[in-house]
């Protein structure tokens, strides 16, 4: 996940950008630090998908970047994954 420090000693917070759908915000994630590095100077953290969903605000979305493309996960799709996580417990 892309991350930045709000305060020098503060917690890492996700960097939000414009989502492909107008009026929505997203975080950009990748399995490759090289893909993330192409987006500019950002600090990265490693995080599992489950932890990301727990940390990410309900209205935010996810863009996953790969060496050869990417995927876009809408808030509606993420709600479905969150429901699966709840049902698992």
DSSP secondary-structure letter at 14?
E
Q: Where are the domains of the chain?
A: 2-88
pLDDT at 70: 93
Q: Kindly give, in sequence order, each residue whose CB lies less than 8 Å from that of residue 47, ignoring residues fewer than 6 positions away.
A: 1, 55
Residue 76 has pLDDT above 80, yes or no: yes
Which pTM does this prediction carry?
0.84
How far is residue 24 CA from its own chain's centroid?
Answer: 13
pLDDT tens digit sequence for 1-51: 565 555 556 666 778 889 999 999 999 999 988 888 887 777 788 888 888
Separation in Å, CA 66 to CA 5, 42, 70, 80, 85 = 25, 17, 5, 23, 25
Q: Quick count: other Cβ atoms within 10 Å of Cβ 61? A: 22
């Amino acid at each position: 996940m892309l991350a930045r420090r709000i305060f020098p000693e503060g917690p890492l917070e996700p960097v939000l950008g414009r989502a492909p759908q107008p009026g929505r915000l997203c975080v950009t994630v990748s399995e490759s630090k090289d893909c993330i590095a192409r987006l500019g100077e950002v600090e990265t953290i490693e995080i599992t998908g489950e932890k990301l969903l727990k940390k990410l605000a309900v209205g935010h979305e996810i863009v996953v970047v790969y060496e050869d493309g990417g995927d876009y996960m809408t808030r509606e799709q993420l709600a479905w994954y969150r429901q699966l996580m709840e049902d698992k417990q």
